Amino acid sequence: MLEVCNLKKTFGDNEVLKDVNFKLENGEIVCLLGKNGSGKSTLINCILRMLQQDSGHILFDNIEISDYNSKKYFSEVSALLESSANVYSYLTAMQNIEYFSGLLNIDVNYEYVNFLLNKFSIYEFKNKKVGTYSLGMRQKLAIIISLLSEPKLLLLDEPTLGLDIESKVSIIKILKDLAIQKKISILLTTHQIDVVEKINGRVILLKDGMIEDFSLHEYEKKFMIKYKEGSKIVSKQVSGNIINTLYSIKLENIIEINRAEIDLEEILMEKLNESNKSGI
Ligand SMILES: Nc1ncnc2c1ncn2[C@@H]1O[C@H](COP(=O)(O)OP(=O)(O)O)[C@@H](O)[C@H]1O
Ligand SMILES: [Mg+2]
């Protein structure tokens, strides 16, 4: 549904995006991870047509986004940008929803809105002024507003920044559900490793102006096998299907099989820091 090819964006002589390539499928939730200043917001802004790339292509449903009808594009692609929880404190949640629907020129679909309010656990507060809400509730409302146009693609720039752990966990769970239930593709940027861990899906890493794609699932499927080999005891780490490895070891020689412990933080830090070597 979204395809970014050879995207390049520079600011003066600052080559922020050098050669960015990735695809996003329907209903997929993907974490865009990168250090501060690595270009995550720049990439999001290019997808939102707020910045024009120097070269390369961004395709949405196989159409170059600059050729897409604007009204249609912005009803299908929605975003909540960093520190833009611009909900109005003196309005209630419902009044905010009605106000923003008006701005977006869409009729309020109350059934859908109630579904969202319920989903984000703020239904019972929908007629309370937003000024009385916690930061987490305001952020939930801001996400609901970004979903009003029933987009196919939702871009969230640091959606959990500054939130307490409970709001963070609940927002991530809801987003994961929505991706599945409503087939919404979600691309969210973060530099918080616990968020990546909670999403527990595909991660794309932006570093040195390029994307590295990997899935945390690869790391989950690692096993440690301990077995006797002659008089020695050998420990071996195996990825993926362990059956083939087991065939090569006599059953009576196997001492134990454990899931290899994965330290996600360590893996990600290692990956992020590889870029340091090039001096960026
Ligand atoms: N409008 C702009 N003009 C000049 N430089 C910019 C602009 N926007 C971002 N940058 C630079 O691009 C780099 C990437 O920024 P950004 O995309 O905000 O990173 P991130 O969101 O990953 O923290 C930074 O070095 C930043 O200073
Ligand atoms: Mg940013």
- Give the position, in ligand 1's atom list, of the atom nearest the Cα of 44: 17
CB-based contact 260:224 (threshold 8 Å): yes
- Nearest listed ligand to the Cα of residue 84: 2
Looking at residue 278, its pLDDT comes to 45
Instruction: Evaluate if pTM is beyond 0.75.
Output: yes
Contact residues of ligand 1, CB 6 A cut-off:
11, 14, 16, 34, 36-42
Helix runs in 21-87, H state only? 40-47, 70-76
Tell me, in angstroms, the distance from the centre of ligand 1 to residue 38's CA. Answer: 8
Helix runs in the chain, H state only? 40-47, 70-76, 93-104, 110-119, 135-146, 165-181, 193-199, 216-220, 243-247, 264-274
Nearest CA to ligand 1 atom 1: 11
Looking at residue 219, its pLDDT comes to 61
Residues in the chain: 280
Looking at residue 92, its pLDDT comes to 96
Looking at residue 279, its pLDDT comes to 41
Nearest CA to ligand 1 atom 24: 37
CB-based contact 133:95 (threshold 8 Å): no
CB-based contact 141:96 (threshold 8 Å): yes
Name the residue of 14, 44, 48 to mutate for ligand 1: max ligand atoms within 8 A of Cβ: 14
Per-residue pLDDT reduced to its tens digit, 142-193? 999 999 999 999 999 988 888 888 888 889 999 999 998 889 999 999 877 7
Tell me, in angstroms, the distance from the centre of ligand 1 to residue 42's CA. Answer: 6
- What residues of the chain score a pLDDT lower than 50? 276-280
Looking at residue 220, its pLDDT comes to 61
Tell me, in angstroms, the distance from the centre of ligand 1 to residue 167's CA. Answer: 28
Tell me, in angstroms, the distance from the centre of ligand 1 to residue 19's CA. Answer: 16
Return the CA Rg of the chain: 22
Give the integer Cα–Cα distance in Å for 80 and 34: 18
- Give the position, in ligand 1's atom list, of the atom nearest the Cα of 39: 17
